[in-house]
Amino acid sequence: MATETGSLHKLLHKGEVWRGRQAAEQLRHRCLSSGFPQLDALLPGQGWQASQLVELLYSDEGSGELGVLLPLLAELSQQERWVLWVDPPHIPYAPALLGAGVNLDRVQVVRSNSRRDRLWCLEQSLKSGCCSAVLGWLPAGQEKAIRRLQVAAVEGDCRGFLFRHSRCQSQHSAAPCRLLLEPHPEGVTVSALKRRGGWPLPPRLIPVSPVVSQTAEPDAGPARLTLVGTST
Amino acid sequence: MNRLATERESLWLYLHFSQLALEAQQLEAGIAGLLDTRGQKLELCSYDAVQAGLEPGMAIATAFSICPEVELFHPNPERVQQQLEALALWAGSFSAQVVLYPPEGLLLEVASMLDYFGGLNNLWQQMEQRLKRLGFQVRYATGHTPLAARLLARAGRSLVIEGRASHRQVLQMLPLSQLELPAKQQDQLRGMGLLRLEQLHALPRDAISSRFGVKLLDYLDRLEGRRPDPQVLFEPPPIFQQFHEFSREIEHSLALLFPLRRILEALAGYLQRRELLAQQLILTLVERDGGHQQHDIGHASGSADDETWLELCKLRLEQVKLQQPILALQVEVERFKTSQQQSYDLFDSQRHAEDPMDLLSRLQVRLGEAAVQPVTLCADHRPEQSWQLKQHPQKAVDNATMPLPKGRPGWLLKSPQRISQHQLPPHIELKTGPERISSGWWDAQQVRRDYYIARWADGRHGWLFRDAQGGWYLHGWFG
């Protein structure tokens, strides 16, 4: 008996049992691997779920916030739909994206002028059905907005990623999945603060490091280069 | 295909916009009435006005005492003609052969469109849906001849059927008073006890022509299809330009959407008929003091869809604060593009996700043209030059093989950030490097830098360089 409850707990704990309308099988079908087995193990359905809003919390850029997503973006950018970046804090650097296999033809960067426009833009893009992923940087105190964005993500069958400061972790959020990223000398540690179909999980080390992009093959991926100006 | 076309019976659809003289002037549904030419009595009443107790023929004073908020309009035949022509453009979505019957009728040839729409019922369903959106009251009927369709529609038959025989059957019961005959002839018919068309049909042709004249016989022959009845087709103008002068001043920009919708519906029909997509639309608002406000609204890949254009216009108008009331608006289409059929099929009811370009256009209309940009790679060793956000990509060199630099960070700072002079702070530990990047002697932005990957004490990795003067700068983060 004890072992039975033990294994049941283990299953629930792993997030492989979805106690809702959706069966676990179906869930997994709609998931894409993150490219990191350690991270997949944290995510219900063993990967990034479709039509879901994920909150990524970190304190400063350089905490692995791009690294954990690049394999997914590389895969999604092979689709017809856009991968939209809304108000990223710095310039998404083309050589690094290409090196990770991202198809730049499908990437668009949007700069909004105000907080209102940013939310409008996120909602429009998420629900349009024309984006496979929408990445947005949101300041603190936007709980109501997050609920709307989750609804929009479902409507547009889009993966939404909200990047927020780690001090937002104590705030309530409607995002079904919340991950806290912390830099680590060998990569990044990810803790699941909230995940659908499973309990919060302690931190795990994901080996995202600059070395990854260093060893990437230059002509891997469907990169198309644009030549502008002259070069030596 | 040819055989089918020749065998196909002709079929016409007549639309009688019974309230057009009033509706062409109204800006939104409401209690409204149209005055007669002498300005003393109500000639037409809107649906809401009838509900409020008003009726045609009522004197102004009575109307005001029943309903003080009624909005009254004077007849404006010019405006009505404009609106009828706009409707003829709109009808281009449904038929390539449209005939104007001023002041308030449109005749459409539909037999040749049945295959395209998958049957008469489908065609009508789509048309009815869009008529509802336009907000015009309409009487309609099909006919095997133009005249039959017109008479049945004006009689309010709401008939959508196919086939000569079935139309003839319906016509039999048509009261003779519905035929457009001189009053004298109507009296004559009534005097003989003839009330319905079937009674007239029962008379021999000779008797009809001797008693009522050849003209009536000719009229009946056109009605029945025994005699050809050539129609003068409406020719859409070479450019699309629609001007709408309001009967009252508009003070809130979103109130422009209702008249705009009607214009954009006309645009959709115009584009559909010519197999074009509009890429840029110029919306001009005429202000009270005679000034103009012009808004250029673009669509990246071009669209013929009125909903798409309305959404774009709405986004733009939401941002417009009117300094002065608006008297009129004009829509002009400047840039066209030929449409590639299929993907932009207006009548595809299964239209799911929007066109990916629609989204970008909407974002650009609200946020500005430069707000949405792709990321591209440029062949230049200097970090600042090797990425670019570009709006109009220059000709991409396909399969260009430039070795992709290794060890580049995901984030590039907009400009390098000074860390310190000569000495690195202790919390930053150099991991790899230096990688010397020096180029740019051919233009003004010459650089000579030694780049390093360094680890911060908190575990993050940054991309640093040291310039020729020995200063340390942060240039990116390995996100």
Indicate whether A225 belongs to any domain. no
Q: What pLDDT sits at residue B402?
A: 59
The C-alpha R_g of chain A, in whole angstroms, comes to 18
Residue A232 makes CB contacts below 8 A (sequence gap 6+) with: B381, B439
Provide the residue-wise pLDDT of chain B in tens; the chain has 479 residues. Answer: 444 444 568 999 999 999 999 998 887 778 999 999 898 999 999 989 999 999 999 999 999 999 999 999 999 999 899 999 999 999 998 998 999 999 999 999 999 999 889 999 999 999 998 888 888 889 999 999 999 999 999 998 889 999 898 999 999 989 999 999 999 999 999 998 999 999 988 889 998 989 888 999 999 999 999 899 999 999 888 889 998 888 888 888 888 998 899 899 999 988 988 888 898 899 999 998 888 899 989 887 788 888 889 999 998 888 888 888 999 999 999 778 777 644 444 443 333 456 788 888 889 888 888 889 888 776 555 676 666 555 444 434 333 455 677 788 899 988 888 988 778 888 888 888 788 887 666 666 667 888 899 888 888 889 998 888 888 999 999 98
Identify any residues that bridge with A31 across adjacent strands, giving them in sequence order.
A49
**Domains B2-25+76-224 and B241-370 fall in the same CATH topology:** no
Highest mean pLDDT range out of A17-21, A138-142, B144-148?
B144-148
Domain ranges across chain B: 2-25+76-224, 241-370, 383-477
Count how many pairs of residues, chain A against chain B, have C-beta atoms within 8 Å.
Answer: 216
Taking an 8 Å cut-off on Cβ atoms, the answer to whether B377 and A98 are in contact is yes
Residue A186 counted as domain residue:
yes
A42 phi and psi, to 5 degrees? Answer: -85, -25
Residue A5 has pLDDT above 80, yes or no: no
The answer to whether residue A232 sits within a structural domain is no
For residue B396, what is the nearest residue in chain A, using CA coordinates?
A226
Look up the ipTM and state it: 0.79
User: Mean pLDDT over residues A170-190, rounded?
Assistant: 87
| Residue burial A24-51, b: 16+ Cβ < 10 Å; e: rest | beebeeebbebbbeebbebbbbbbbbbb
pLDDT at A28 over 70: no
| CB-based contact A95 B402, cutoff 8 Å | no
- What is the model's pLDDT at position B375? 85
A210: nearest CB among B376, B414, B478: B478
C-beta atoms surrounding B294 within 10 Å: 10
* Structure tokens given for B313: 């216009």
| Sign of CA pseudo-dihedral B393, B394, B400, B405 | negative
pLDDT at B419: 87
Taking the CA atoms of chain B, what radius of gyration do you get in angstroms?
A: 34
Q: How far apart are CA A1 and CA A219, in angstroms?
A: 55
Average pLDDT over residues A81-104: 91
Query: For the stretch B70-106, what's the b/e string if a residue is b when 16 or more beta carbons lie within 10 angstroms of its beta carbon?
Result: bbbbebbeebbbbbbbbbbbbbbbbbebbbbbeebbb
Share of chain A above pLDDT 90, in %: 31
Among residues B401, B478, B408, B479, the alpha carbon closest in space to that of B437 is found at B408
First to last CA, chain A: 73
Please say if the pLDDT value at position A136 is more than 90: yes
Q: Do B411 and A108 touch (CB under 8 A)?
A: no
* Closest among B68, B156, B65, B167 to B111, alpha carbons compared: B167
Q: Which one of B315, B392, B460 makes the best mutation probe of the A interface by having the most chain A beta carbons within 10 Å?
A: B460
Residue A160 has pLDDT above 70, yes or no: yes
Residue A210's domain is classified under what CATH number?
3.40.50.300
Predicted pLDDT at B139: 93
Q: Kindly list the residues from chain B whose CB atom is less than 8 angstroms away from the CB atom of residue A183.
A: 456, 458-460
Return phi, psi of residue B433, to 5°: 120, 180
Going by CATH, does the domain composed of B241-370 fall within 3.40.50.300? no
Task: Say if the Cβ atoms of B409 and A210 lie within 8 Å.
Answer: yes
The total of structural domains in chain A comes to 1
Distance from CA of B455 to the nearest CA of A (A): 8
Give the residue among B127, B157, B124 at the shortest CA–CA distance from B139: B157
Q: How confident is the model at residue B27, as a pLDDT?
A: 77
User: With 60 as the cut, is the pLDDT of residue A23 above it?
Assistant: no
Tokens of B432: 């790899």
Specify if A224 maps to a domain.
no
What was the pLDDT predicted at B236? Answer: 86
How far, in Å, CA of A91 to CA of B375, rounded?
Answer: 9
Residues A93, B387: C-beta atoms closer than 8 Å: yes
Contact A213 B478 (CB under 8 A): yes
Task: Identify the H or E element spanning A78.
Answer: none
Cα first-last separation, chain B: 63
Q: Do B367 and A110 touch (CB under 8 A)?
A: yes
Set of chain B residues whose Cβ sits within 8 Å of the Cβ of A105 = 374
Inspect the interface and report whether the beta carbons of A93 and B476 lie closer than 8 Å. Answer: yes
**B294 - beta bridge partners?**
B284
CATH for the stretch B2-25+76-224: 3.30.70.270
In a domain, A207, yes or no: yes
In a domain, A142, yes or no: yes
pLDDT at position B276 is 87
- Average pLDDT score, chain A: 79
pLDDT score recorded for residue A219:
38
Instruction: Name the residue of chain B whose CA is nearest to A91's CA.
Output: B412
Domain with A198 in it: 14-42+52-215
